[in-house]
Amino acid sequence: MRRSYAVAGGAVLAAMVAASLWLMLFPKLALPAIQSRITEQLGRTLEVKGGARLSFAPLAFSLGQISLSAPQGMEGPLVTADTLRIPVGLPQLFGASPDLSLLTLEKADIALLVDERDQVNWHFASAPGSPLALHLSNSAVRYFDARNNQALALANVNGDLGVGSDGGVTFIGSSEINGRLARYDMELKSLARVHEDGSPITLSFETPEIKAGFDGRLSTVKVFNLVGPVDISITSLRQAARWAGLGIEDGRGFGPLTISGALDSSGKAFAIRQANVTLDDVTVFGELAIDTRNATPKIQAQLSAPTFTLDGFLPDSGATPENWGRSPLGFAALRAFDTEITLETPSLTFGTLKEQPARMVVSSTGGKFDASLAVMPADGTRFVAEANIDATASPPSFALTLKSDNASAGQVLQLLTGQDWVSGTGAISAALSGSGDTQEQIIGTLKGKASVTLGAGAIAGPDIVAMLGQASQRILTGWSLDTPSRTAFSSLAVDVTMADGIATLGAAALDAPGLKVSVTGDIDFLRRAVDLRADPKLIAADRDVSGLPVKIVVNGPWGAPRIYPDVPGLLLNPQKGFETLKSMGLASGN
């Protein structure tokens, strides 16, 4: 009996040893069959440098350091991987052909190549005989077109790649792009047709900032080409631009963006025809293109909008009603991309300009920015502004030219200074330049020339004709523009020379019923203050001209300056000033 147990135990031990030897030897014995099967199905050579072994939980062949060759005549492998896992069952352990329908690639590198001779390395002689499911783990996918040096790369790819018996390809998974997780859901009708007549494809793409859907055709015959409807939704254009590596700072505007239209890409250039674009609360229509062939991407667009509000797209200067802005204007972002954009709208709102037909043209190259705005209402008014910024200079330089015909002086003045105490229509022109990173710095360096010629308007504040008779009563307090009155004029002409943010009036003349006024002095734009001397003359009905024996001083904040006779020491000794005015023959007035 004991001998029988011993024999049985020995048999079991021998079986276990035999099974262990078989499990150790089987992967090496099965490897040639696996390689032969892959060559038969794909027409490619599978090279295994890291050997073969069995792995458990789950049971699988594990092939180390594998590479799948490219077609004959093309350099480099199509696929390399640290590990290729092939599931194993009992039939495969005891002689059945390996099941290649479900594979796992770990740390794979899939290199898709179009060479200079227009050959592709993903072309197979025929579709696989049966569907193939391939799981990618911590892998990379690269695409390179040697004809035009176009390259795409996805890192940390994880997901399931399916290849149908008809050559169709699906992929559901994710990758990493510039440190962000991107999710994909793709269905390609035919891998073979991609480099023939093109294959239908549907694709959805999602990152924390972007969602995109495409349903069209993919072709690589001449260049990488996508044609078909596309929908794109971006939570914040500023955030997406930073994610893409563009130097965009925080600021107002350029938030939520949606784009829909017909995509037509050609290599590194992407166009969206019949585009419907909503940025923040503004919707525009037209043609949109992004060219990434150069180091600096270029945005081109021909757009129209039923309504357009420009204010939200200007840099946030941090200005208040009392102070110029000290926030950086972000001119460095102009070096991030080039532009060539035209926008037309029948209803533009910009500061004090309300719902006016306008045309804007914006272009930038290498950090040098040019923009023009033409406002052309039906009443014949015309306002044209051009701005030029050189963000390559340090500090950035800024230039502004204005020209208007029959324009509203109040609108233009408030647009430039925030004040609207002059009304009237006429010609306004200016050519100014400055430099700085903030609005305050630019204002403090302004230089150039400006001129204003207006007719049929008014200056808000006291009635100058009436105040001339009150000069003796205003010595202590001066006049104030807060007085609810105004001085109507028939014409106003002003020529200004500006330097270091201070405008010097070279010739300023106001003609009004019963009044002529000439003005000299300075307007300090940086401090928002005026220091002017006015020489008013009353004109009687018989054309006799009389005036104050002294000039009138306009001094202080330009929103509410003090206005008083120009008598030395007037404010220090009002009584003496009053006696001086009387000795000059000035009536006391009532």
Tell me how far CA of residue 499 lies from CA of 177, 414, 447, 452, in angstroms.
50, 21, 4, 18
Cβ atoms of residues 426 and 452 within 8 Å: yes
127's CB contacts (< 8 A; 6+ apart) are 163, 164, 165, 166, 167, 192
Q: For 40-54, b where at least 16 C-beta lie within 10 A, e where not — what string?
A: ebbebebeeeeebee
Q: What is the pLDDT of residue 475?
A: 45
Which stretches of the chain score pLDDT less than 70?
Answer: 1-30, 56-57, 89-99, 125-129, 244-253, 378-380, 409-421, 460-485, 540-550, 567-590
Q: What is the pLDDT of residue 15?
A: 43
Q: What is the pLDDT of residue 16?
A: 44
Q: What is the pLDDT of residue 377?
A: 74
Q: What is the pLDDT of residue 249?
A: 61
Tally the C-alpha atoms within 13 A of residue 182's C-alpha that lie toward its C-beta.
Answer: 21
Cβ atoms of residues 55 and 62 within 8 Å: yes
Q: What is the pLDDT of residue 541?
A: 59
CA distance 577 to 573: 6
Q: What is the pLDDT of residue 307?
A: 93
Q: What is the pLDDT of residue 590?
A: 40
Transcribe 408-442 into DSSP letters: EHHHHHHHHHS---EEEEEEEEEEEEEE-SSHHHH
Q: What is the pLDDT of residue 17?
A: 43
